Chain A
Amino acid sequence: MSHLTLKAVRKSYGSVEVIKGIDLAIKAKEFVVFVGPSGCGKSTLLRMIAGLEHISGGDLEIGGKRMNDVDPSKRGIAMVFQSYALYPHMTVRENMGFALRFAGVAKEQIAKQVAEAARILALEPLLDRVPKELSGGQRQRVAIGRAIVRNPQVFLFDEPLSNLDAELRVHMRIEIARLHKELQTTMIYVTHDQVEAMTLADTIVVLRDGLVEQVGKPLELYDNPSNQFVAGFIGSPRMNFMAAKVVEAGSGTVTVALTKQGNVRITLPLTAAPAIGSDVTLGVRPEHFGLAAAGDADLAVNVDVAEHLGATSYLYANTGTGEQLIIEREELRNELGKESLTVSIRAANSYLFDNSGQRLR
Chain B
Amino acid sequence: MAQARLDRRDQITGWAFIAPALILLGLFMIYPIVWSLWMSFQVGKGMNLSFGGFANIMRLTKDPVFLRALGNTFTFFIVQVPIMIVLALLFAVALNDSTLRFRGLFRTAIFLPCVTSLIAYSTVFKSMFATDGIINEALMAVHLIGAPIGWFSDPFWAKVAIILAITWRWTGYNMIFYLAALQNIDRSIYEAARIDGVPAWARFRYLTIPMLKPVILFTTVISTIGTLQLFDEVYNFTAGNGGPSDSTITLSLYIYNLTFKFMPSFGYSATVSWVIVVVVGILSFLQFLVARDRRRSA
Contact = CB atoms under 8 A, between A and B. Distances in A.
Say whether A associates with B. Answer: yes
Contact of A81 (B192, B197, B199, B202): B192
B295 to A, nearest CB: 8
Interface string B185-227: 0101101111111110010001100110100000000000000
Given A87-B207, A89-B211, A50 B195 contact: yes
Nearest to A75: B195
A85 interface: yes
A86 B198 CA distance: 14
Nearest to A51: B195
A150 B186 contact: no
Given A85-B186, A98-B206, A52 B197 contact: no
Given A88-B211, A89-B211, A98 B198 contact: yes
A13 interface: no
B285 to A, nearest CB: 23
Nearest to A100: B196
A77 B199 CA distance: 16
Interface string A99-142: 10011000000000000000000000000000000000000000
Contacts of B192: 79, 81, 85, 143, 146
A73 interface: yes
Interface in A36-68: 50-52
Contacts of B210: 89
A9 interface: no
B182 to A, nearest CB: 14
B271 to A, nearest CB: 43
B197 A99 contact: yes
B189 A85 contact: yes
Contact of B195 (A78, A83, A86, A103): A78
A357 interface: no
Given A83-B186, A85-B188, A87-B189, A102 B211 contact: no
Contacts of A79: 191-192, 195
A216 interface: no
B197 A73 contact: yes
B186 A73 contact: no
Interface in B10-27: none
Contacts of B196: 73, 78, 98-99, 146, 150
Contact of A73 (B188, B194, B206, B211): B194
Given A83-B186, A87-B207, A99 B191 contact: no
A150 B197 CA distance: 10
A274 interface: no
A91 B206 CA distance: 13
B22 to A, nearest CB: 37
Contacts of A89: 210-211, 213
B276 to A, nearest CB: 34
A77 B195 contact: yes
B180 to A, nearest CB: 17
A146 B188 CA distance: 14
A83 B198 CA distance: 19
Contacts of B193: 87, 98-99
Nearest to B192: A85
Nearest to A79: B195
Contacts of B199: 102
* Residue picked from A74, A77, A81, most chain B C-beta under 10 Å: A81
A150 B192 CA distance: 12
Contacts of A91: 295
B138 to A, nearest CB: 41
Given A99-B197, A99-B198, A85 B211 contact: no
A72 interface: yes
A102 B195 contact: no
Nearest to A74: B197
Closest 6 pairs (CB-CB, A-B): A73-B197, A99-B196, A85-B188, A85-B192, A81-B188, A89-B210
20 contacts: A73-B194, A73-B195, A77-B195, A78-B196, A79-B192, A81-B191, A83-B186, A85-B189, A86-B189, A87-B193, A88-B189, A88-B211, A89-B213, A98-B206, A99-B196, A102-B198, A102-B202, A103-B197, A146-B192, A150-B196
Interface of B: 186, 188-189, 191-199, 202, 206-207, 210-211, 213, 295
Given A52-B191, A73-B194, 10 more contacts: A73-B195, A73-B198, A79-B192, A79-B195, A85-B186, A86-B189, A88-B211, A91-B295, A102-B197, A102-B198
